[in-house]
Amino acid sequence: MATLDGRTAIVTGAGAGLGREHALLLAAQGAAVVVNDVSADAAQGVVDDIAATGGTAVACPADVTSWEGAQSLIDTAVQTYGDLHVLVNNAGIVRDGMIVNLTEDAWDSVVGVHLKGHAATIHWAAVHWRGQQKAGNTVTASIISTTSGAGILNNPGQANYSSAKAGIVALTLVAAKELGRYGVRANAIAPLARTQMTAATPGLGDMFAAPESGFDAWHPGNVSPLVGYLASADCAVTGAVFHVVGAQVAAFNGWTTTPLLEGDDRWSIDDLAAKLDGHPALTIGDDGRLPAEGMSSHDFQQLMAAAVPSSGQA
């Protein structure tokens, strides 16, 4: 018996890249898959690939930035396969640029596809799962969101993308807290892999090239087994944020506070200046780490290098 037999999964943006790999793996593990993409041809191509290997899938072309489009995914799952168990939010785009060059359209489109595209599907899936639970059915559901190191570690040149991806972490953790009572788990992954998105990012195309031999650490399919694990009915993990690349899986730890001042009355500006000027917890580190950053870019590069020792560049 395969890990996901009897489960129905939606994968958004599954026409290419990581989403395609997730859809192929979930189907290979026995899930019936609703393959979403804004490109109908791309979605149908993945459905055909799944069917060719004996899997079960249906295409659901829709724009996840639309509330109605998101609802159509949940409706398709329920009408075609009778229920929904797994929601993999993956669809994404980039429109990179510095804040001084940011246009309203670049902001709205990127925040729309990522953050609203996650919120809309989570909303409609939550409506379905709450209804199932209230009808007395046992729900063992899983939401897997897609964030990014850019959202957690704040990437210059990606203000829109980083903001949306940070919002996805907050949305996912709220979902984990709100929906647990209905039998729904929610986790997020921050992947790194070779796709059309990273191929278009200056510097990443060469870095993510496939090796001539040995483990292809940047292959997007390396990310999908974690999605399959989080999707399984027996998995209990919820409220976690994973970094996943090659053969490395790591957990991001959340925000913490460092106590700075305590008193009995309102501070004056002068007192604050006297006590906080030059405070080590508010000073940019020697490695360029901002005061609020838990991990510097250097730390992150070391993490990636450990994940992909053969590349020598990460």
Ligand X SMILES: NC(=O)c1ccc[n+]([C@@H]2O[C@H](COP(=O)([O-])OP(=O)(O)OC[C@H]3O[C@@H](n4cnc5c(N)ncnc54)[C@H](O)[C@@H]3O)[C@@H](O)[C@H]2O)c1
- Does residue 121 belong to the site contacting ligand X (CB under 6 A)? no
To ligand X, the closest distance from the beta carbon of 86 in angstroms equals 16
Residue number of the CB closest to ligand X reads: 17
**Annotated catalytic, 296?**
no
The minimum distance between CB 215 and ligand X, in angstroms, equals 17
Take residue 238 and report the two structure tokens written for it: 């919820």
Of 42, 126, 139, 217, the one binding ligand X by CB under 6 A = 42
Catalytic residue among 148, 162, 163, 224: 148
Q: Is 39 in the site for ligand X (CB under 6 A)?
A: yes
Is 64 near ligand X (CB under 6 A)?
Answer: yes
Q: How many residues bind ligand X (CB under 6 A)?
A: 31
Q: Helices 67-81 and 117-134 meet at what angle, rounded to 10?
A: 40
For residue 22, the Cα-to-chain-centroid distance in whole angstroms is 12
Asked if 191 touches ligand X (CB under 6 A), the answer is: yes
Query: Can residue 195 be called a binding residue for ligand X (CB under 6 A)?
Result: yes
Q: Give me the amino acid identity at 126.
A: A
Q: Which is nearer to ligand X, 72 or 132 (CB)?
A: 72
Give the Cα separation of 106 and 144 in Å (integer).
25
Any contact of residue 192 with ligand X (CB under 6 A)? yes
The stretch near ligand X (CB under 6 A) out of 7-15, 79-87, 136-144, 228-236 is 7-15
For ligand X, the closer of residues 141 and 193 by Cβ is: 193
Is residue 71 within the footprint of ligand X (CB under 6 A)? Answer: no
Which residue among 3, 8, 65, 162 contacts ligand X (CB under 6 A)?
A: 65
Pair of tokens at residue 260: 């700075």
Interface residues with ligand X (CB under 6 A) are 12-13, 15-19, 36-39, 42, 63-65, 90-93, 113, 117, 146, 148, 190-193, 195-198
Give the active site residues: 148, 161, 165
